[in-house]
Amino acid sequence: MTLLTCKHVNIFLSVFCCIALSARAYEPEAQIRFGQTHTHNTMDIHIQTTLESHYSLEGRDSLNGDAISATSLDLGWGNFTGGLWYGWSPDQNYEESRLSLSLAEQVGDFEFYAGYTHLKFPDSHDNEVGVGGVWSGLPLQLLVGVDAYYSFDADGSFWELSMSRAMEFSEGLTFTGTAMFGINDGYIPDGHSGANHFGLRLGSEYSLSPSLSVTGHATYSWALNRNSHLEGDEQLGNFFHTGLGLDWLF
């Protein structure tokens, strides 16, 4: 509902300083839930650190309006990507970590991936498998994507369809517009099934150097078919959130 506050910016700068020091020793490659949808010709290392005004998951404001800061380290080699992700909230006592491994393949205009993720929460853990793909064969440089992931703990899956287009505004500055549609199929076991949320996102990336970029986004998410009588739909709603990040790619 709110933009990043001065408090959040100060926290982000602190995180930035810590990551900048550690990036001298190692750096990585990651972003999607289960890894990257592209292959690597050599060993790629990608580090990303972000500060999000809200923790948006499956169309839900998961921390009830509080922010989350996250750092990820990904290693890509050939068709494989392995990653570590750690998130924590500066506003409440919340920590989460993920360990993932994915395999990607490209065939013509199609890119596919499949992967496994182990998630650890403050008082529980989960294991997930996921598959997804991107098709780049549409006109106007549009990309169509689909992601599906299954939770062994919930014994349910979640699907997200997306369409996006990147536009280079000037040298080193790129904007990407994305429309997203989510479907719950038991992944949120105590939430409603079916159409879950719709979102519009405007992302940006500015390259400071060949290996360092500043990223940001502004996103609005609308709830679909929310059932106020279901506990799993309590955090499902209409809300605006923003994010700011740094990417190192080696």
Taking residues 94-109, report their average pLDDT.
Answer: 96
**Highest mean pLDDT out of 26-30, 64-68, 74-78:** 64-68
pTM of the model: 0.84
E strand or H helix at 38: none
Range of lowest pLDDT (39-43, 62-66, 205-209, 231-235): 39-43
Q: Is 20 left (phi over 0), alpha (psi -120 to 50) or beta?
A: alpha
Question: Cα separation of 55 and 69, whole Å?
Answer: 9
How does pLDDT run across 203-212, given as a tens digit for each residue? 999 999 999 9
For 187, the 3-state DSSP assignment is coil
Q: What is the pLDDT of residues 128-172, one digit of tens each?
A: 999 999 999 999 999 999 999 999 999 999 999 999 999 999 999
**What CATH architecture does domain 6-249 belong to?**
Beta Barrel (2.40)
The amino acid at 247: D
What's the pLDDT at 19? Answer: 34
Decide if 156 contacts 187 (C-beta within 8 A).
yes
